Structure 1
């Protein structure tokens, strides 16, 4: 049995440095749990294998970025499908303000209940984000945004079409909540908002807001009408 040490880069928030944290793996256990530490380090070499590396001089391999994206997508899609199933008998599995608005439009949910559910979804996302912010050391580096070559109008239409597909999937399949989870797995590969209550209201305790939030809310909400049409 052999042991090896491989450095794992962890990006701290609001810092231009990486932390390299060693991990120990064996021939039988190749993907051990990772310890994430986010804090700025002085620019000097530290003992063991923890040292600071300038961000401009560090580039992660492409396969590592793709593996992380796939991991995030799987976690997001499966966790949402499970939570929707768990809360289906309580609140119908409504976790998205855009989907709730679509249910109000088709008459599946009353207007008063829809308004109360949307308020609860937004407040729940904000409280959950605040709890995570309080329990996590350092500043959270989370949130969604447009790519460097993506314009605001392109992002708006991407949000509109993807939200329309999500709402259409839920309306057509009804109780097949696993399909919604599969769709959000694919959505996470594109990393679009689709859920303004989660991605924008949830960022409220952590980030400042601007045009990106207007784009996300308008894009996701406006497309509910066309998907119900």
Structure 2
């Protein structure tokens, strides 16, 4: 077929002096040739980093983005002072002399990956690091049994294990401190209350301190793993507010009860003193009084958790301190009368280890559950009423933000009055 001479009419060598199918296709090809070449030239191309192995230098026909070029080798070889055999990216006019170009070397890259760029051009993005060591470390740290787990199953497994270990550590130190506080006491019963021994502020203060500080430390450690609940009543409250799912809450309650039993077993085995950590009612305290005492104390603890941990504020990072202090205050009040349980798992574990279940053991399930439900209802009530607008600007990071929050609150009141 004769070459196309560029005229608008049919080809000069055509026999019939008419357009043929081949002529039309050839004309459409040449019309889009320059557009395709321009798009191909402007297409960004980033050279592939092949790691610290020896390279085979090849003359690539594609022009890299912004006139960049890479050269890699196992030896530290400086790139040439000029590019040879490359099209000019700026003007697109084909090969151009590059004798005036002075490379700008940068030695902040890896030893086996030297980078350079021409004058007046921006430095390229650094190459990715080699993945050999990362992959090998990842394979070494991955458990064989977790390969078949999906993300949800693995998350439930990690949270359950974290809650079991956290509850064990919390109650182990709390029970051990209670054992130390009861050393030398005349109480023969294996309970914390010990009403017949008389009132001892030192013992009550010691028990309250060890419970409060143990909860504070372990919540601060485990809240990133499982939430640091350690309490079936708190778990029930979180499930009612949909902070966690029902399935997750069932797993956490099981882990909390198991951790309480294991902590009680460790304290009984490791310490030579009598195991006196059960919760019972003191003489003169009725069942109804015990239920309401546990409910009120649990309400204080759960509502503190809601306002400091569940509500994300600028003080959330120190929420474990407030939670530990809430338990400390509750223990100061409740240890003498009910043993200061506030936690069904805390009362259930020692009963299982000692094999003694008192007739009033049920109050340590009903009381905390009642307090948790009351805390949830009050929390939802103030959320419906938009408690943030009652005292605006409390969570502002600066005075300007606080003033802006107060101004918005006043505007909202004005619009409501209108």
The residue that corresponds to 2:375 in the other structure is: 227
Task: Pick the aligned partner of 2:288 from 153, 156, 166.
Answer: 153
Structure 1 counterpart of 2:342: 194
**Secondary structure at the residue paired with 2:361?**
helix
Equivalent residue pairs, number: 175
Name which structure has the greater RCO, CA cutoff 8 Å, separation 6+.
1
Tell whether 2:356 aligns with 1:182.
Answer: no
Q: Are 2:297 and 1:130 equivalent residues in the alignment?
A: no
1:49-107 deviation line (CA, Å, top 9, x unaligned):
xxxxxxxxxx88x6xx2122212211211111001001011111111110011000000
Q: From the superposition, tell whether residues 67 and 13 of structure 1 become closer, same or farther in structure 2 (CA, over 3 Å).
A: closer
SS in 1 for 2:219: helix
TM-superposed CA distance for 1:14, in Å, is: 3.8
Match of 1:11 among 168, 185, 206: 185
Distance 1:68-1:139 versus aligned 2 partners, 3 A rule: closer
Counting strand residues as a fraction of each chain, which structure ranks higher? 1
1:162 positional shift:
1.2
Question: 1:194-213 CA deviation, whole Å, 9 max, x = no partner?
Answer: 01111233432024113322
| Larger Rg computed on CA atoms | 2
Distance 1:77 1:120, change over 3 A: same
Between the aligned partners of 2:241 and 2:290, the Cα distance in structure 1 is 27
Q: 1:98 to 1:184 in 2, by over 3 A?
A: same
Alignment of 1:1-229 (within 5 A): 10-11=184-185, 14=188, 65-137=200-272, 139-174=274-309, 175=316, 176-190=319-333, 191=335, 192-229=340-377
Matched residue, 1:50: none
Contact 1:13 1:139 in 2 (8 A): no
Deviation at 1:138, TM superposition (A): 5.2
After superposition, what is the alpha-carbon deviation per residue over 1:107-133, rounded to whole angstroms, capped at 9, x for unaligned? Answer: 001100000000000011001101211
Checking the alignment, whether the CA contact within 8 Å between 1:13 and 1:140 is kept in structure 2 is no
Aligned to 2:82: none
Contact conserved, 2:280 with 2:361, CA < 8 A, in 1? no
> Secondary structure at the residue paired with 1:204?
helix
134-143 vs 157-166, which moves further: 134-143
Secondary structure of 1:134's match?
helix
Q: What 5-or-longer segments of structure 2 have no aligned partner?
A: 1-182, 190-196, 310-315, 378-418
Deviation readout 1:21-49 (Å, 9 max, x if unpaired): xxxxxxxxxxxxxxxxxxxxxxxxxxxxx
Please provide the CA RMSD for this pair.
2.0
Aligned partner of 2:90 in structure 1 is none
Partner in structure 1 of residue 52 of structure 2: none
Structure 1 residues 130, 12: CA separation in 2 closer, same or farther (over 3 Å shift)?
farther
Q: Are the aligned partners of 2:299 and 2:374 in contact in 1 as well (CA < 8 Å)? A: yes
Task: Kindly report structure 1 stretches of 4+ aligned residues shifted beyond 2 Å.
Answer: 11-15, 136-139, 199-203
* Contact persistence 2:297–2:342 (CA under 8 A): yes
Aligned residues of 2:277 and 2:350 also touching (Cα < 8 A):
no
